[in-house]
Amino acid sequence: MELFLKIAAAVVMGMMVFYAWRAYRQWQAHGPKAQKGDWQAVVLPLALVAGFVALLVAMVR
């Protein structure tokens, strides 16, 4: 049963990879390009998320 579920999960995730690939191509072709300062505006909150997760790990150890 478990092997069957693993194979089914792998197949469904394979389908997700295919859909993600199509979405990636569409966004690369038609999506807006980053303006000046856009990536910095993304990296900062994501760095805060990473730091917050590290804090949570420290709390449970």
Partner 1 sequence: MANQNYSIVHGTERELSTNKVLKNTYMLLSATLVFSALMAGLSIMLAVPPWMYMASVIVAMVLGIFVLPRTARSSSGVGVLFLITGLLGFGLGAILTLYLKLPHGPQVIGTAFAGTGLIFLGLSGYALTTKRDFSFMGGFLFAGIMVVFLVAIANIFLSMPALSLAVSGAIILLMSGFILFDTSRIINGGETNYIMATYGLYLSIFNIFISLLQILGIMSDD
Report, in Å, the least distance between residue 44 CB and partner 1: 9
Cα distance between residue 58 and residue 53, in whole Å: 9
Longest dimension (CA), the chain: 52
| Binding-site ranges for partner 1 (CB under 8 A) | 1-2, 5-6, 8-10, 12-17, 19-21, 23-24, 27-28, 31-35, 37-38, 41-42, 45-46, 48-50, 52-53, 56-57, 59-61
Name the minimum Å distance from CB 49 to partner 1: 5
Alpha helices in 1-61 (DSSP H): 2-30, 38-60
